[in-house]
Amino acid sequence: MLIASTFLACSQNHDELFLNKIINDFSRNSYYIVVKVGDENKKIDYLIDNDDLFYYLHQTKGYDKATYQKYLRPILLTNKPILISKADIVKFRFIKIIQNDNVLAQTSKGEDAFIKYFFNGKILKDGISIEQRNNISQILYNWQIATRIDDETGFLILSK
């Protein structure tokens, strides 16, 4: 557990190039981002499609794309939480990340071995549960490797 918490705590510092790639993608199946969401004094990691988070902030706060990016960039750079109500979490179908010990155990083998274990090339292997898939996306995000759902196949793919 100590390794897991250290990995997750230290890995949230992202560079500008990676952040630009993620927050400039407004396609239907845009890249996933990991955002801490404040919920009754608890901060929980959520996996959110960038375009879905933009849509949420556009609907609730009237943000345009430039305002959204200006708002989100420092949050992602510093790993600060944002406040989203439980009702909006459900309404906008944000994905709560539930730690999966099997996926987390693979992180100790390093980035290349982790990717080889879970992916065939850039496509997630068959037989991976949704919970595992979400954890894999979170870990790759922390390693500054973008993931998204392919709009043709519905498979998780990575962009390295």
Per-residue pLDDT of 69-80, as tens digits, reads 999 999 999 889
Decide if 79 contacts 37 (C-beta within 8 A): no
Sequence spans of domains, the chain: 15-96, 101-159
Model confidence band, residue 38 (pLDDT cutoffs 50, 70, 90):
confident
Model confidence band, residue 56 (pLDDT cutoffs 50, 70, 90):
very high
Residue 114 has a CB neighbour count (10 Å cut-off) of 19
Q: Give Cα 121 distance to the centre of its chain.
A: 20
What is the share, in percent, of the chain residues with pLDDT greater than 90?
Answer: 79
Torsion angles phi and psi, residue 58, rounded to 5: -70, -45
Which region among 32-36, 94-98, 119-123, 150-154 has the lowest average model confidence (pLDDT)? 150-154
* CA gap 27, 51 in Å, rounded: 7
